[in-house]
Structure 1
Amino acid sequence: MHAVLLTGHGGYEALEYRTDVAVPQPKPGEVLIRVAAAAINNTDINTRTGWYSKAVTEGSNLGGAGGFQGADDADASWSGVPLKFPRIQGADACGQIVAVGEGVTAARIGERVIVRNLLRSYVGWKPFDCWTFGSECDGGFAQYTVAPSRETFAVDCDWTDAELATIPCAWSTAENMLHRGKVGAETVLITGASGGVGSSAVQLAKLRGATVIALAGKTKADEVMALGADRVVDRKADLVKELGHDSVDVVLDLVGGSGWPQLLDVLKKGGRYVISGAIAGPLAQIDLRTLYLKDLTLFGATFQDDLVFENLVSYIEAGRIRPVVARTYPLSDIVQAQKDFLAKGHVGKLVLIPPF
């Protein structure tokens, strides 16, 4: 089959497009999926470059092209366990079940499905433990992939394959942040609102009745407003000056970096801060007095309760959300797709289409 192999941590040279890769076979409890589309995500690039290593202190985009020379392979994955190479990446997969392993009913063959990107089956369903699809196991950057049947969800909708492929990673990340932060009809500030996760969070926060303040570049303001944001603030603005101290109930942060302290300054007393990304930089300085004198709660959001993905499927089938696909590429053009992703000139998602 055609597939993209990640041969090690590094730059674009670590991505090898091959046409002679063996089709995987489903093991007991697994299904074989013919992949119709697979979206690009930050985690794919961060894993390739080694950004998750604690030896890296820069923003993730800085190493996008060439990788991070100081990264330590020993902790350069989500799980902190060294990756096994070659690896087929791709945290997203939309496609059709074409075969099943032992213990899975043949009635599933033909289903149009998406795969939960944070897999619990392989780690025994332990709390706060999961494998990332396309990281600890092979993922969607191929013509075929395997996944646990229990975590492969049939979806009934009229969306294109490219649209459905945007859901697993970005939308589950956004829904998980809202779930962890218990967001309701209150004021929510979302950083990185034009990206895949941020644009998803805008729509999902509105579903919960929230008033959404979105941070995005000036050139993307109209598109972010069209997603449902009540207000768009330039990502380079002084937030305290623009919004005022104690002005928002919840912050959903995907950016981190040097501007991070202002996010706590604009939170109301008793406010909640939820983070699931740090593309502007993983290190930040905190004034602990702000944290405790304002009775703030800080959440890291990676592991997902089962309800998160189930919610997304229900939203899709009820017609309550619709993703934004900025552009599609042949799977063989993965390097160009990642270059465009890192350029951040788009709103929504970039999607790869394998050959049929």
Structure 2
Amino acid sequence: MNRKAAKLSPSIRIPTTMSGVVLTGHGGFDKLQFKSNLSVPQPGPGEVLIKVAAAAINNTDINTRIGWYSKGVRSGTSEGGSSGFESSEDDDASWTGMALSFPRIQGADCCGYIVSVGEGVDDGRIGERVIVRNLLRTYVDYRPWECWTFGSECDGAFAQYAKAPSRETFKVDCDWSDVELAAVPCAYSTAEGMLHRADVRAGQTVLITGASGGVGSAAVQLAKRRGAIVIAVAGQSKAATVRQLGADRVLARDESLVDVIGKDSIDVVIDVAAGPQFPQLLDALRRGGRYAVAGAIAGPIVELDVRTLYLKDLSFFGCTFQEDIVFENLVSYIESGEIQPHVGKTYRLEDIVQAQEDFLSKKISGKLVLVIPR
């Protein structure tokens, strides 16, 4: 689509070039290149052009950079976070199991302002402050269980401008800052998607791993919103913060879950860690309990005693795809003041390597957010 076909506000002047961070291949931090001469994308039919204000750091972008999704990788994210993995194969190194196209502008978390619209989109949307659903269904014709990740199968928010499907770009009316809104899409939708799939309800006891991270801290808030009793697993230096988010109890990562809380004591496990503690998570579940997982930061290869699975009538939920209602609900929670943002630190876009280093260190509680230059 040519630029004339896009509907522009007379008061908005859109440049032809922009600054952004380009991923040139799978590997270490050297694969991230800050450039100031990238072409500004043009919105196609059904799309909007967004002036990005802020974009958060998350595991999905790092895992994609380092090729962690490749079946050749058998360890946690942190082991290859700086340099990548030699065992990773490019052919299956994206979360879809398909080869990724380079160069790619990453950034699954986007908050910004619509400045132009493509054919078929109401130009009354220009000026709206929006967030983008990070798991996009438009580009796969809304087929069940399929989606693209914003910043993986298409360019994302690590740049001054980004385009996205209008149908999956949501106006948000609230008093949050741009930085705070940018903390929502990936982490909060992942957490809400897990709680939705596992059907977490009031009065149930929920165990949440990685509770000081982006997804984990979101899950604490969202589980409490549902009226659940929350037991969180986090580093003790962050325990107070996790309690402030709503956790009823915080356990140290190195504690034996079974020794501390006992067997058959949990209704639902919300897991982003996996790794060596996985067998204990199942031991802690009650008969008929539910286990939902959307990450494996402690390691993807686990030991499963299948007898525990079937003799306790457990249900397992692998959670990537999200029903439309998940993101729609998140917007409503924000606008009604039912959840609060949790931002740890902000950075300039050109300091993305430092931001990812801090993210991997796990020393800062809350989301790390890039502020995009105007």
TM range (shorter): over 0.9
Please state how far the C-alpha of 1:96 moved relative to its aligned partner.
Answer: 0.1
Q: Point out 4+ residue stretches in structure 1 off by more than 2 angstroms.
A: none
What is the root-mean-square deviation of aligned Cα atoms in Å? 0.4
User: 17, 20, 38: which is aligned to 2:34?
Assistant: 17
User: 164, 175, 178: which is aligned to 2:195?
Assistant: 178
**What is the alpha-carbon distance in structure 1 between the residues aligned to residue 227 and residue 340 of structure 2?**
17
Instruction: Please show how residues 146-165 of structure 1 align to structure 2 within 5 Å.
Output: 146-165=163-182
Aligned to 2:112: 95
**What is the alpha-carbon distance in structure 1 between the residues aligned to residue 372 and residue 237 of structure 2?**
31
Aligned to 1:65: 82
User: 358, 362, 365: which is aligned to 1:340?
Assistant: 358
Secondary structure of 1:258's counterpart equals helix
Gaps of 5+ in 2: 1-17
Q: Summarize deviations over 1:306-344 as a string: whole Å, max 9, x none.
A: 000000000000011011110000000000000000000
User: 307, 310, 323: which is aligned to 1:289?
Assistant: 307
Q: Summarize deviations over 1:203-253 as a string: whole Å, max 9, x none.
A: 000010000000001111111000000000001100000000000000000
Aligned to 2:5: none
**What is the alpha-carbon distance in structure 2 between the residues aligned to residue 343 and residue 149 of structure 1?**
36
Confirm or deny that 1:28 pairs with 2:19: no
Secondary structure of 1:326's counterpart equals strand
Aligned to 2:234: 216
Aligned to 1:83: 100
**What is the alpha-carbon distance in structure 2 between the residues aligned to residue 138 and residue 322 of structure 1?**
28
User: 182, 190, 204: which is aligned to 2:222?
Assistant: 204
Q: Summarize deviations over 1:8-40 as a string: whole Å, max 9, x none.
A: 000000000000000000000000000000000
Please state how far the C-alpha of 1:346 moved relative to its aligned partner.
Answer: 1.1
What amino acid is the match of 1:244?
G
TM-score by length of 2: 0.95
Aligned to 1:319: 337
Please state how far the C-alpha of 1:347 moved relative to its aligned partner.
Answer: 1.1
User: 252, 256, 263: which is aligned to 1:234?
Assistant: 252
Confirm or deny that 1:114 pairs with 2:114: no
Q: Summarize deviations over 1:285-325 as a string: whole Å, max 9, x none.
A: 11111111100000000000000000000000001101111
Please state how far the C-alpha of 1:265 moved relative to its aligned partner.
Answer: 0.1
Q: Which stretch has the larger CA shift, 87-96 or 74-83?
A: 74-83
**What is the alpha-carbon distance in structure 2 between the residues aligned to residue 334 and residue 38 of structure 1?**
10
Confirm or deny that 1:254 pairs with 2:272: yes
Secondary structure of 1:235's counterpart equals coil
**What is the alpha-carbon distance in structure 2 between the residues aligned to residue 63 and residue 113 of structure 1?**
33
Aligned to 2:160: 143
**What is the alpha-carbon distance in structure 2 between the residues aligned to residue 36 and residue 78 of structure 1?**
26
**What is the alpha-carbon distance in structure 1 between the residues aligned to residue 349 and residue 186 of structure 2?**
18
Q: Summarize deviations over 1:159-202 as a string: whole Å, max 9, x none.
A: 01000001110000000000000000200000000000000000
**What is the alpha-carbon distance in structure 2 between the residues aligned to residue 82 and residue 132 of structure 1?**
14
Aligned to 2:370: 352
Q: How many residues align?
A: 356
**What is the alpha-carbon distance in structure 2 between the residues aligned to residue 218 and residue 105 of structure 1?**
50
**What is the alpha-carbon distance in structure 2 between the residues aligned to residue 181 and residue 236 of structure 1?**
26
TM-score by length of 1: 1.00
Confirm or deny that 1:328 pairs with 2:346: yes
**What is the alpha-carbon distance in structure 2 between the residues aligned to residue 49 and residue 59 of structure 1?**
11
What amino acid is the match of 1:287?
D
What amino acid is the match of 2:153?
E
Secondary structure of 2:74's counterpart equals coil
**What is the alpha-carbon distance in structure 2 between the residues aligned to residue 213 and residue 12 of structure 1?**
35
What amino acid is the match of 1:204?
L
**What is the alpha-carbon distance in structure 1 between the residues aligned to residue 129 and residue 22 of structure 2?**
25
